[in-house]
Amino acid sequence: MRKPKIIRMVFALGLGCFLMVIFYFNSSLKPAPETVSDRSSGQKSRRSPLQALYDGDQAESAVQAIHQGRRELLEEACHSYTRKRRVLIPEDLKHIIVDDQHGLLYCYVPKVACTNWKRVLMVLTGVTGSIRDPLAIPANEAHIPGNLRTLSEYSTSQINQRLRSYLKFVFVREPFERLVSAYRNKFTRSYNTAFHKRYGTKIVRRHRVNPQPEALEKGNDVSFEEFVYYLVDPATQREEPFNEHWERVHSLCHPCLIHYDVVGKYETLEQDSHYVLQLAGVEDQVSFPTLSKGSTRTTGDMAAQFFQNISPFYQKKLYNLYRMDFLLFNYSIPAYLQFR
């Protein structure tokens, strides 16, 4: 009677050992959490920015809490205001810059410090050679296609791998301050003749009564009111997509399709930029350029002045156009608007 019992015990023990061996080999084949190698210094693999953000052992800080709150608010807004989800296509990824060396994905938004962020990434990716000061890079060089790779240039599997394992960040700004900043930069600066020809002449032709021949030819005196009429005109977007300088952030960076780990804000630019560089472990290698004290950047008060001559009817049409950016990134309706 004892033999069958002993046989069963030996069999059970052998089976247990066999399963443990299988488990050991399976676990050894699983990829370890991804790390980032520092090629420039030859150091061994280190913790990736994504691990630095989400690892449970990091000390809680006020900055972390702020960014967690922004992620949660964005997720809630996406659930509340977007009905249909769709699959990302390469066209959606043209604004996402890739830093493979440090495991970063940055969606750049024009008029939200994107020139300086591109400069920083050029330093980090080694495009600039020995240059370590971002401000030593001319602004026009930061925007040359090909200096930095975008996510749309990768294969589908490479895209998915980077979306899963890289730190994804975007910087946003109060929508109407960004819009006024774009207008000031592109339509009131004499050197932007390409924009005047490309968009100014069209705006004058469509939205000015009895335009002068010189204005039709040069398009260099577009008023803010005419710019607003152009934006809210349904024919504008039927004809072609908005230029990236006044395109909505949700259309450039697709925050309801891509889970951004850090949502930086122009209003807290220095703090948020330092946080990203800290997560990437490069805060001792490069500093984000600070805004100069004499800067003529667009403020809320300045935006209010530009909206003084916009009727409540057109204010509301413009707000509806940019409504999703207000909602997704938790910006209040500006107090100077009169359509309420």
* Cα→Cα distances 73→27, 221, 322, 330, Å: 37, 40, 18, 7
Residue 291, pLDDT score: 74
pLDDT above 60 (res 331) = yes
Report the mean per-residue pLDDT for the chain. Answer: 87
Please tell me which of 31-35, 47-51, 281-285 the model is most confident about, judged by mean pLDDT: 281-285
pTM of the model: 0.85
Residue 159, pLDDT score: 97
Task: Show the tokens assigned to 162.
Answer: 């980077």
* Residue range 266-272: mean pLDDT, rounded: 96
Residue 292, pLDDT score: 66
Task: Show the tokens assigned to 31.
Answer: 């990829």
Residue 9, pLDDT score: 53
* Residue range 103-118: mean pLDDT, rounded: 98
* Bigger pLDDT: 238 vs 28: 238
The bridge status of strand 104-107 relative to strand 96-99 is antiparallel
Residue 130, pLDDT score: 87
- In the chain, the DSSP E strands lie at 35-36, 46-47, 96-99, 104-107, 167-172, 262-265
With the C-alpha atoms ordered 201, 205, 210, 216, is the resulting torsion angle positive or negative?
A: positive
Residues 318/339, Cβ–Cβ less than 8 Å: no
The bridge status of strand 104-107 relative to strand 167-172 is parallel
- Determine the Cα–Cα distance for residues 255 and 93; give it in Å rounded to an integer: 11
* Residue range 73-95: mean pLDDT, rounded: 92
Q: What angle do CA 253, 173, 297 make, to 5 degrees?
A: 130
- Determine the Cα–Cα distance for residues 300 and 178; give it in Å rounded to an integer: 10
pLDDT above 90 (res 30) = no
Whose tokens are 């930061």? That residue is: 142
pLDDT above 50 (res 38) = no
- Determine the Cα–Cα distance for residues 50 and 135; give it in Å rounded to an integer: 27
Residue 15, pLDDT score: 44
* Residue range 299-326: mean pLDDT, rounded: 96
- Determine the Cα–Cα distance for residues 205 and 226; give it in Å rounded to an integer: 10
Residue 12, pLDDT score: 52
* Residue range 44-73: mean pLDDT, rounded: 81
Proportion of the chain in helix, strand, coil states, percent, rounded to 5: 55, 5, 40
**pLDDT-wise least confident of 48-57, 135-144, 213-222, 305-314:** 48-57
* DSSP string across 83-142: -------GGGGTTEEEETTTTEEEE--TTSSHHHHHHHHHHHHTTTTT---GGGS-HHHH
3-state SS, residue 319: helix
- Determine the Cα–Cα distance for residues 266 and 178; give it in Å rounded to an integer: 10
Residue 118, pLDDT score: 98
**pLDDT-wise least confident of 60-64, 68-72, 162-166, 191-195:** 60-64
